[in-house]
């Protein structure tokens, strides 16, 4: 997840601790991606991106080209670098949901993250299952 001990990072709410999430990842993972594989690269990249998107200010992200950054999920709205960091990961990830399931227009970055922290108190053990296209436009399935 990158250098969590970098003294120059200005954390939004303090340095994150992924110990419990990592434990659940190792206990529940279904795939062992080979060293050097695109799948392992994407899995580690997404975990680092998620840490940055959740815990760092956008100007400190190292995982993306800040001028070219776009995010989209399930063929929904494409959020550019002026929108995506401010609406929050969960709002753009769930933007194509029916509003009765998740209404991204009524959630803020903070409220959406609060709901996910409540729903997943031990963290979210993210695992890449299959990669369809590599960088710069990554497409993959996950659990």
Band (90; pLDDT cuts 50, 70, 90)? very high
Instruction: Identify the band that residue 140 occupies on the pLDDT scale cut at 50, 70 and 90.
Output: very high
Quick: pLDDT tens for 25-44: 999 999 999 999 999 999 99
Distance CA 16, CA 83 (A): 23
SS3 sequence, the chain?
A: CCCCCCCCCCECCCCCCCHHHHHHHHHHCCCCCCCCCHHHHHHHHHHHHHHHHHHECHHHCCCCCCCCCEECCCCCCCEECCCHHHHCHHHHHCCCCCCCCCCHHHCCHHHHHHHHHHHCCCCCCCCEEEEEECCCCCEEEEC
pTM: 0.90
CA-to-CA separations, 48 to 87, 95, 101, 141, in angstroms, rounded: 19, 22, 28, 17
Residue with tokens 């969590």: 4
In sequence order, the 6+-apart residues with CB closer than 8 A to the CB of 49 are 61, 63, 64
Residues β-bridged to residue 70 = 80
In the prediction, which pLDDT does 25 show? 94
Q: Is residue 69 very low, low, confident or very high in pLDDT (cuts 50, 70, 90)?
A: very high
Residue 124's pLDDT band (cuts 50, 70, 90): confident
């Amino acid at each position: 997840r990158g250098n969590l001990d970098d003294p120059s990072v200005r954390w939004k709410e303090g340095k994150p601790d992924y110990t419990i999430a990592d434990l659940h990842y190792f206990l529940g993972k279904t795939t062992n991606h080979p060293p050097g594989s695109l799948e392992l690269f994407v899995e580690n990249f997404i975990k680092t991106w998620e840490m940055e998107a959740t815990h760092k200010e956008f100007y400190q992200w190292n995982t993306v080209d800040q001028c070219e950054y776009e995010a989209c999920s399930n063929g929904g709205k494409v959020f550019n670098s002026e929108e995506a960091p401010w609406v929050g990961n969960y709002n753009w990830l769930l933007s194509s949901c029916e509003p009765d399931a998740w209404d991204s227009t009524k959630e803020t970055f903070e409220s959406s993250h609060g709901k996910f922290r409540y729903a997943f108190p031990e963290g979210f053990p993210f695992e890449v299952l299959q990669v369809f296209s590599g960088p710069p436009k990554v497409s993959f399935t996950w659990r």
